[in-house]
Each structure stands twice: as C-alpha cells, then as structure tokens.
Amino acid sequence: MKKFVAGMLCFCMMAAVATACGGGDSNGSDTPATTVNNGGGDTGETTEDPATDPANEGKTPINLYAFTEEVPMMCQCFLDTHPDFAAQYYINKTVIPTTEQQYQPALDQALLNGGEDAPDMYVCEEAFIIKYTQGDMSSFAAPYEDLGIDVDAKIEEAQIAPYTVECGTNPDGKVVALGYQTTGGAFIYRRSIATEVFGTDDPDAIAEQIGAGTNSWDAFWDTADELAANDIAIVSSIGDMWNVVKHQPNTSAWVVDGALNIDPNRESFLDIAKDLIDNGYCNDTSAWQDAWFADMAGIGEKPVFGFFGPAWLVNYTIAPHCGGDSAPADGDFTQGNTYGDWAVCQSPVGFFWGGSWVLCNNDSDKKEAVGQIIEWITLDCTNTGLQYYWANGMISTDNYAEDGVMPEGTYTSDSVASAVVMGMSDGSSDFLGGQNMFDVFVPANEFASGEGMTQYDENINAEWQNQAGYYAHGEKDRDAAIEDFQTYVSENLGL
C-alpha cells in the first residue's frame, strides 16, 4: 500500500517535471518571434547563465540587485530598445524578495565585499531607502551627476515628484536615487456610498467633504461620524490610517540627534486608532488579510467608504479584489461586485506609500553605462522613455518576456515620477467609473513629503503601529503603550 502511494506520487512528480520541461521548450521557441519587434536582443531563456550565453560573449556584464522583477524587466526593455548599448553590455540580475528579510543582508554583503560580483546597480524600497541614501550604507550610493547625468536640470525638466527626490538625496545634498513610479496617496472611495450619504459622488465634492488638502483631520472625522450614523465605516483598518499619518508633512523624524522623538502628529495616531475602534469608524481588519480584501468587494462586516492609497493600490489591489471585472449589470454594488463603483480624490494630508528607487554603486567601474539605464528609467520624459511605457500600461513584468512593448492601454497603468509624463498619459479606467486618476495623483505626488524619515523607520513604525493596536483594543493604557514603545526602541536600536 505504502509503496503504491509512493509510486503514484513518484509518477506525478515525473509528470510534473516532464511538463515543466515541455512547457519551457515551447516557451523558448515562442520568444525569438516576439523579440524581433523589440529591436533584437535576447529576452527569454533567463534560466541560462548570462555569462556563458554565447550571445553575451565579449560583452560587459552589469550586475543588478533587485527585490522584484520590475527593474530587471525595465533593464531588459532598455537593452531591447537600445541596440547599440546592448551590443556592449548585458544584465546580470540577482533577485531576492524582501518577504524573507534576506534582501538587505545579501545586498549589504555584496556591496561591502566588492569584487567582480558586486552590484553595479541596485534597487531599494520605501522601507529601507534611507539606509542606502542617508544612513549606514549611503557611502556606496554614487551621485547621479557622477554617472554623467545632468540631474538637477533633468529633474526640473521632467517635473519629478519632490518627495522622491528628498528621499533620494544624500547628506551632501546630492541626488543618489530616484524612482520610476510614484506612490503619492489619495482617498479611494465608493461612489454608491457617497451618493447615498452625501448626495453626490463627484470627486471634487467628496474632496471638500473630507477636507482634502487642508492638512487637518477635522472634516474627515465629521465625515466619519456621519457615515457611522449610517452604519458605514470610513476606512477598513487602523493600519490604513497609519499609512497616511506616518508620512504626514511637517512631521519630525523618529530619531533626532541620536534620541527617540515622538512627533505630536505621530503621537496623535494613538488617539486616532482608539477612536476608529471605539466609534466604529473601521471594520478592524488588517491589511493584506481576508477581511481587508472583503471590504474591497463590499462584503465585510459593515460597508467601508474608502481606502487611503496610491495608484498601485487602485490597480493592483482593489481592482483584482472588487469581486468582478465589469460593473454589475443591475447596478447594485452591494452584492459583492464593486467594479466601477470607485473614485479617487485628494487626501486631507499628503502622504506616500511604497515605491522603488534605483541606485548605482560608487565602486562600480561602469558608471557611465549604468547612468544611461538609470536616466532612461528615472528621468526620461519622452514617449520612448520607461515612464511613458509604465504610465500607459505598455509593459508588464508578467508578460514582457513574451510580448515586449505593447500599445498604450494593454496593461494597467501606474502613476510615475515625472509629472510631464503623467500629463501626456491617460489614467482613466472603467474601474474608476471613467475618472482619469492621474488628475488626482499628479497633485498627490506634489503634496507628499519625504522629510522626517530615518533609516530605523521600518522597525520603529512597525512597533508604533503594534502599540497603538494594543491601546486601541484596550490591552493596555495610553501611557503604558508609549512607555513600552520607548523601551522597545531603546533596546532594539541602542538609542
């Protein structure tokens, strides 16, 4: 019996492997046909070692460290669209996800130990960008001007979102990192609820209703009260509010002169969390968990009015979880399909959430070459630049290897760093009831602030959010939460 089971499993595995190989082959044979459109170059077959690939013979490798496939895909796109460059260089990528908390240790070791495997180019995200631009590892980040980029003029020309520049500037005031995407945040709300409670779903009217751009939360809490009276929650989770409060403009950093500093803005989050729970302003969910997604489809405990978030939250998170891929035929959004029921308006205070920055290693001997790629990714504001492709849904990580660059609107669009590119692009979608979200996200990117960040934020933010949760749920009182937080910070960060 046991042998039989084992035999069956063996067989299944063999079959699986066999199909894998078969699939790989057919995949491989598809590739050449499509890559021709991209101006030649070799896109597929990345399981081969690029160093031993005959197509790369005589070329110089550019080592790239990244935590997603996004930037490697963009680099590939650069090679495909710049044949002259591709004749000299190829990309040798290393992708390590941040989810296992191994990206930073690996990147740090690779940077510290140098040698020919050291990264020439690397990517950082919001949670740890400061460590690499202003913190412990900042000495490795090469100023963009050393890469042959006329960075200040370019930033002005492309109208790059100011907070991304702030985060990417080193202590000497030189720009060492910029992004392609922007993650300035807005309030993403349900039209049907707006109409029901406030009599209008117009983004401008709702913006006024929640006090958009006032830098004050008063109007927002009044709105929350009004919604709560109708048994509607204004947001889904406590964490949704933290994403906004965290990077609120005019907030001083967690660490000032080597000591912990709790800014009043951030301290107020304790009370916000408590109010959310006590007054039923939220469904008490947690981000990325079942109940949070249920609120996107409108099937949570109570209806939820909206979410705070950037453009990626609209297209990559809410849209796939809204319960449908076209608006419900009967126009009833309460039955688990909210497609088309969403709209975007300005947030009461500016904020940003997430984002990636691209850096070049100071010790790299290929700075000029890396500079060309970086410039194309972060500062090119023409319609053949990466950002135009990205903002108009012309490339996608999932399909690039097969499809290459596609016409505008093929994939979902995302907000990008250059306001000039955003101006040329169309961010409207049926999901938002035809609204062009870029109308809101361009000012949102202007409105976000990159000040008051430290390299310890990832850690400190997580603990502050935890303590606020314990306080809000009555696990401890306010003073105890603050005290425990201070203990944590002093013991974990040695401050």
Residues numbered 21-40 forming contacts with another protein, rule: CB under 8 A: 21, 23-24, 27
Nearer to another protein by Cβ, of 107 and 167: the residue is 107
Stretch that binds another protein, among 190-198, 265-273, 294-302, 384-392 (CB under 8 A): 294-302
Nearer to another protein by Cβ, of 154 and 247: the residue is 247
Stretch that binds another protein, among 154-162, 164-172, 202-210, 293-301 (CB under 8 A): 293-301
DSSP string, 251-271: ---SEETTEE---HHHHHHHH
By CB atoms closer than 10 A (0-12, 13-18, 19+), residue 293 is buried
Q: What 3 state SS string does 474-485 have?
A: CCCCHHHHHHHH
Least CB distance to another protein at residue 157 (A): 29
Ordered alpha helix ranges (H), 36-150: 70-81, 83-86, 103-113, 129-133
Neighbour count for residue 311 (Cβ, 10 Å):
29
Determine which residue in the list 180, 281, 293, 464 makes contact with another protein, applying CB under 8 A.
293
Determine which residue in the list 37, 88, 139, 216 makes contact with another protein, applying CB under 8 A.
139
Contact criterion met (CB below 8 Å) for 409 and 393: yes
Buried b (16+ CB within 10 A) or exposed e, 7-45: eeeeeeeeeeeeeeeeeeeeeeeebeebbeebeebbbbe
Stretch that binds another protein, among 147-155, 266-274, 384-392, 467-475 (CB under 8 A): 467-475
How far is it, in rounded angstroms, from Cα 481 to Cα 471?
6
Please give the residues from 169 up to 208 whose contact with another protein meets the rule CB under 8 A. none
Cβ within 8 Å of residue 115, ≥6 positions away: none
Please give the residues from 154 up to 173 whose contact with another protein meets the rule CB under 8 A. none
Determine which residue in the list 289, 334, 382, 384 makes contact with another protein, applying CB under 8 A.
289
H or E segment to which residue 61 belongs: strand 60-66
Nearer to another protein by Cβ, of 209 and 413: the residue is 413
Stretch that binds another protein, among 32-40, 68-76, 162-170, 202-210 (CB under 8 A): 68-76
Contact criterion met (CB below 8 Å) for 224 and 234: yes
Least CB distance to another protein at residue 470 (A): 6
Residue count, binding to another protein (CB under 8 A): 93
Least CB distance to another protein at residue 37 (A): 19
Q: How many residues does the chain have?
A: 495
Please give the residues from 298 up to 357 whose contact with another protein meets the rule CB under 8 A. 300-301, 312, 316-317, 320-321, 354
Q: Which x/- pattern, by CB under 8 A, does the window 112-131 give for another protein?
A: xx-x-x-------x-----x
Q: Is residue 254 a contact residue for another protein (CB under 8 A)?
A: no
Ordered alpha helix ranges (H), 230-342: 238-246, 264-278, 290-296, 311-312
Q: Is residue 466 a contact residue for another protein (CB under 8 A)?
A: yes
How far is it, in rounded angstroms, from Cα 43 to Cα 91?
11
Stretch that binds another protein, among 1-9, 263-271, 417-425, 431-439 (CB under 8 A): 1-9
Neighbour count for residue 331 (Cβ, 10 Å):
9
Q: Is residue 70 a contact residue for another protein (CB under 8 A)?
A: yes
